[in-house]
Amino acid sequence: MPAKHTHGSSDQTARREIGPLRLLFEHVPGIIWATDRNLRFTYIDGKLLQRGRAEVRGMLGASIHGLFGTSDRTHPLVRLHVAALAGEHPSARFDHNGRWYKVFVEPSFDANGKISGTIGTAIDITEQRDLLRRANFLSDASRLLSSLDAERALSAVAELAVPYLGDACAIDRLNNSVRRRVFSIQANPDFPVRLDDSYSMKTGHVRTYTLDGVAHLVAPICVKDTIVAVFVFAALARRQYRPADLQTADQLVQRASLAMENATLYETAQTALRVRDEFLAIAAHEIRGPLTGIHLAVEVLQKSTTDNAKNRALAIITREDRRLSRFVDELLELARVRTGHLDFVFEPVNVAGVVRDVLSRFSSQMDRIRSTVSLELDASVVGDLDHARLDQVITNLLANAMKFGLGKPIRIAVRALGGHALIVVEDHGLGIAKDVRERIFEPFERGVSVRNYGGLGLGLYIVRTIVERLEGTIRVDSEVDRGTTFTIELPLKRRP
Amino acid sequence: MTIDAATILIVEDDDSIREALSMLLESFGYVVHQASDGATALEWLATEVVPRVIIADMMMPNVSGEEFVLTLKRSGRLRSVPIVVLSGHTSARKKAESLGADACLIKPVEVDELLALVEKFTK
């Protein structure tokens, strides 16, 4: 920008001394000045003069001390000049009116090579400094967010962000749009800033507003388009949030969102590992039991001399052999269900007939547990179903009813309902608590402790999988100590 | 075996294991009493003779193996009866030790090891 201004005679003297370099000086981005050996200004950058700074204009020919209203030689800026007069090349950073400058002062030399004064340069580094601070802040925040404990990571970030992004910060967690403040921090706890807690927000939008003279910045953290948490920053009125702050907050929540997503994935993985370990422990137990029985019985077989003992030992071996086979079958079935390789053969199936088949297989067990079964079967219900799979479903439900029915009456009903077969299996036993009901159809879950009831916890999972493959639905109604009712609806005709 | 046969209590909810183990020990001349859960075993212990050894499963309904062993080791009369714990979980070894059990065998048990233990404790 060409210099176009009026100036006094001392200014012109300075300009003469700087000579032909003047134009160059006035076009570089920094501010340049020069002093003589007594630190009196001999040149002041036209850019400063142009800004009409009266106090600067009057400074030409005056000592630099005047700039600071003091003759204090210990002022950092004065010390730079003194150092330069001693032949050094000092530099330092200063803030002035909210901006940051890097100042370099160099000695200047006369024709004989003797130090004749100083040349000073000041470069505005406010933007670079802000960028660096932001980068540092975001990098520190990322480091904190790499923790897999999301809750604590967010709190740590809030602590880091005060006072950088505000004088106070709160974290609200959202669960089904219910807001809960889980953390808040104040830069100065003696003078707390009020943090808004009734703000409105939109997914993925960082926004700023002023409430009762307090500037607010609200930054929602989203996982899969759902707001899971919100950073609320508040700053006293002397500070207004600038676009750069919004950008910083935006980048912060992007990192926080990733961190929350990772934490969720980690939790899911941990749960899966726990479930797997439990499964392995149960599986090992289910194998070790029968094996022990067989080992001992074989030993008895070798030692015993009476037929009675031999027969009893053989009976044990046969029984445990079957138990192991059933267990292996269950594992294989699980593998088929998990990989979606369940085979289905669709044919007209009489539902009540299947119930009777299953029941006849259970008759000896039924006598032992003293449960009675009442049947309400509509023999006319015939559907396009898979006989073996339907058998499997009813077997599992009846086995459960007997296991948890406490010997009380069991009811099985089959009837037609608007193009569907309705199958009801009801017991009056233990019942299933609400929290257990929600996961009872998941693999490896069980409503009771492994301690008391064995099994892999796969029965209802397999039932649900088969019912879904038959395009039907399964529902459980239960009350603890009152009993459980499973209701299955299967379409009689398959969708073309 | 002496005429004064040693009594062994087996507490195990698995019918096959309990039955086979009883038959095996009986074939060696021991007198065996069976219980299918901890509660039944404690009832029997309260009234009957003190057995020379107790073999107990860890995972049982109605008074778990853990509670069972703890109860015995706190009882004045039964504290000194050796307890051999059976478990299907390898992690049970440490647990058994902390409970004060005298030995722990992981299923499927080595029959020779079991017999050696029983012999040692009944001497």
Q: Which two tokens stand for residue A362?
A: 């259970």
Query: For the residues A166-187, what does the mean pLDDT come to?
Result: 89
Comparing CB atoms, the residue among B20, B90, B91 nearest residue A300 is B20
Contacts of B44 (CB under 8 A, 6+ apart): B9, B33, B35
Residue A222 CB neighbour total at 10 angstroms: 20
Using the Cβ of A430 and the Cβ atoms of chain B, whether some distance falls under 8 Å is answered with no
Task: Show which residues on chain B lie within 8 Å of chain A, measured between beta carbons.
Answer: 14, 16-17, 19-21, 23-24, 27-28, 59-61, 64, 86, 88-91, 106-109, 111
List pLDDT tens digits, range A267-303. 888 888 887 887 787 788 788 889 999 999 999 999 8
Residue entry with tokens 């409430």: A211
Helix orientation angle between A307-338 and B15-27, rounded to the nearest 10 degrees: 150
CA–CA dist A411, A394 (Å, integer): 12
pLDDT of residue B1: 37
* Secondary structure of residue A7 in the 3-state scheme: coil
Counted across chains A and B, CB pairs separated by less than 8 A come out at: 76
Query: Do A372 and A336 touch, CB atoms closer than 8 A?
Result: no
Kindly determine whether residue B16 and residue A291, on different chains, have CB atoms separated by under 8 Å: no
CA–CA dist A279, A125 (Å, integer): 62
Q: Which residues in chain A are closer than 8 Å to B89, comparing Cβ atoms?
A: 281, 284-285
Contacts of B117 (CB under 8 A, 6+ apart): B53, B84, B103, B105
Query: Do A200 and A211 touch, CB atoms closer than 8 A?
Result: no
Beta strand segments in chain B, E: 7-11, 31-35, 53-57, 83-87, 103-106
Q: B46 to chain A, minimum CA–CA distance in Å?
A: 24
Which pairs count as long-range contacts for A331-334, CB under 8 Å and 24+ apart, including other chains?
Answer: A331/A283, A331/A456, A333/A458, A333/A462, A334/A443, A334/A456, A334/A458, A334/A462
Sign of the alpha-carbon torsion through A305, A306, A307, A308: negative
Using the Cβ of A313 and the Cβ atoms of chain B, whether some distance falls under 8 Å is answered with yes
Confidence of residue A452 (pLDDT cuts 50, 70, 90): very low
Q: Answer whether 0.95 is exceeded by the pTM.
A: no
Using the Cβ of A322 and the Cβ atoms of chain B, whether some distance falls under 8 Å is answered with no
Complex ipTM value = 0.87
Residue A131 CB neighbour total at 10 angstroms: 12
Query: For the residues A176-196, what does the mean pLDDT come to?
Result: 88
DSSP A153: H
Query: Do B93 and B106 touch, CB atoms closer than 8 A?
Result: yes
Interface test mutation site (partner A, options B12, B13, B22, B23, max chain A beta carbons within 10 A): B23
List pLDDT tens digits, range B64-121. 788 889 888 888 888 889 999 998 877 788 888 888 899 999 888 888 999 999 999 9
CA–CA dist B78, A275 (Å, integer): 39
CA–CA dist A32, A46 (Å, integer): 9
pLDDT of residue A333: 81
Query: Do A349 and A458 touch, CB atoms closer than 8 A?
Result: no
Query: Do A75 and A64 touch, CB atoms closer than 8 A?
Result: no
Contacts of A247 (CB under 8 A, 6+ apart): A134
CA–CA dist A230, A206 (Å, integer): 10
Q: What percent of chain A has pLDDT over 90?
A: 35
pLDDT of residue A71: 60
pLDDT of residue A18: 57
Nearest to B84 by CA among B19, B35, B11: B11
Least CA distance to B59: which residue of chain A?
Answer: A451
Query: Do A139 and A248 touch, CB atoms closer than 8 A?
Result: no
Cis ω before A192 (30° cut-off from 0): no
Reply yes or no on whether the pLDDT at A487 is more than 80: yes
